């Protein structure tokens, strides 16, 4: 959305002195026109010129652009304007993403696939599968430990150790998958605390097991059902 220099000046006039100075801390988040308007407003208020930080290299802009979905709307539009000013298009951004992926020499387990990680997102089907496995594995471990205890005192201590470790691992895996399911709905992972309330247990289970996640990437990661490629997405609208 294009705005006129007059409208831009009016916006700067509404900002506090500190807000105007903070714009020059991360100049890459703002267009050159916005920085000029902020500088003019500071001069109008007889505030000494702000020492601007050095402009980031193209690689830094490409890195930010590869995580465009994690930025708020104002920062995203400002970054898009700076990319357009430097004639950096979607094809170059996608090429950077591909080149960074090719640099990985050790194949990492994606956060969505890892049962230990609290980062990323998982879908409803993955949630139900993991919940089913935990529900079946828990009783199996308890039965095994109960049988082992009958073998003698030493075996009883060993079975207790297995039970404690198994309980810890089950709780960790359960919390991790619950957090990632909330992330899939673009909600904070702290919603897992609902499981510690009587009313929250059925509510949380219904939400995690039935509510579809947000389509496309959100602030917690890519869509586990398959996010569209950046090159196939329409470029954001730039602002002055």
- Tell me, letter by letter, the H, E, C secondary structure of 48-87: CCCCCCCCCCHHHHHHHHHCHHHCCHHHHHHHHHHHHHCC
Phi (first) and psi of residue 218, to 5 degrees: -130, -170
Tokens 């500190």 — which residue? 18
**pLDDT, tens digit (0-9, with 9 covering 90-100), for 14-39:** 888 777 777 766 666 677 777 778 77
> Which 8-state DSSP code applies to residue 108?
P
pLDDT in tens, 137-186: 888 888 888 888 777 777 778 888 888 888 899 899 989 999 999 988 98
The answer on pLDDT for 95 being more than 80 is: no
Q: Is the pLDDT of residue 110 over 80?
A: no
Confidence class for position 202, pLDDT limits 50, 70, 90: confident
Q: Confidence band (pLDDT; 50, 70, 90) for 53?
A: very low
Length of the chain: 240
Q: What is the mean pLDDT of residues 215-228?
A: 77
Greater model confidence, 100 or 165: 165
DSSP character for 17?
H
Hey, what's the torsion of the CAs at 71, 74, 76, 80, to 10 degrees? -170
Confidence of residue 58 (pLDDT cuts 50, 70, 90): low
Question: Which residues on neighbouring strands pair with residue 218, listed in sequence order?
Answer: 221
* Whole-number pLDDT of residue 221: 81
Contact 20, 52 (CB under 8 A): no
The residue with greater pLDDT, 162 or 231, is: 162
The pLDDT of residue 59 is: 66
Percent share of the chain, pLDDT over 90: 4
d(CA 208, CA 111): 18
Residue pair 79/72 in contact (Cβ under 8 Å)? The answer is: no
Distance of CA 149 to the CA centre of its chain: 46
* Cβ contacts of 48 within 8 Å, gap of 6 or more: none
When the pLDDT of each residue in the chain is averaged and rounded to a whole number, the result is 75
- Determine the Cα–Cα distance for residues 239 and 34; give it in Å rounded to an integer: 9
> Which residue has better confidence, 217 or 61?
217
- The pLDDT of residue 84 is 76
Is residue 1 within 8 A of residue 239, CB to CB? The reply is: yes
Distance CA 194, CA 63 (A): 36
pLDDT at 132: 92
Res 153: pLDDT: 72
Domain boundaries, the chain: 5-106, 124-210
pLDDT at 223 over 50: yes
Average pLDDT over residues 50-65: 57
């Amino acid at each position: 959305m294009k705005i006129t220099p007059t409208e831009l000046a009016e916006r700067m006039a509404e900002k506090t002195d500190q807000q105007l100075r903070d714009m020059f801390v991360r100049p890459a988040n703002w267009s050159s026109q916005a920085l000029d308007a902020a500088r003019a407003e500071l001069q109008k208020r007889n505030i000494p010129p702000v020492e601007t930080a050095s402009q980031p290299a193209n690689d830094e802009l490409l890195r930010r652009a590869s995580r465009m979905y994690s930025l708020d709307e104002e920062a995203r539009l400002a970054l898009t304007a700076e990319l357009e000013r430097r004639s950096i298009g979607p094809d170059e951004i996608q090429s950077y993403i591909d080149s960074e992926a090719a640099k990985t020499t050790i194949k990492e387990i994606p956060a969505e696939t890892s049962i230990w990680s609290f980062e990323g997102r998982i879908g409803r089907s993955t949630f139900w599968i993991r919940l089913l496995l935990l529900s079946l594995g828990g009783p199996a471990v308890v039965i095994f430990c109960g049988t082992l205890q009958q073998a003698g005192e030493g075996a009883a201590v060993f079975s207790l150790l297995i039970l404690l470790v198994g309980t810890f691992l089950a709780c960790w895996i359960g919390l991790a998958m619950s957090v990632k399911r909330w992330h899939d709905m673009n909600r904070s992972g702290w919603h897992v605390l609902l499981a510690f309330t009587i009313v929250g247990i059925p509510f949380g289970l219904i939400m995690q097991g039935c509510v579809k996640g947000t389509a496309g990437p959100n602030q917690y990661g890519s869509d586990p059902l398959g996010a569209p490629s950046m090159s196939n997405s329409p470029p954001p609208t730039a602002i002055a």
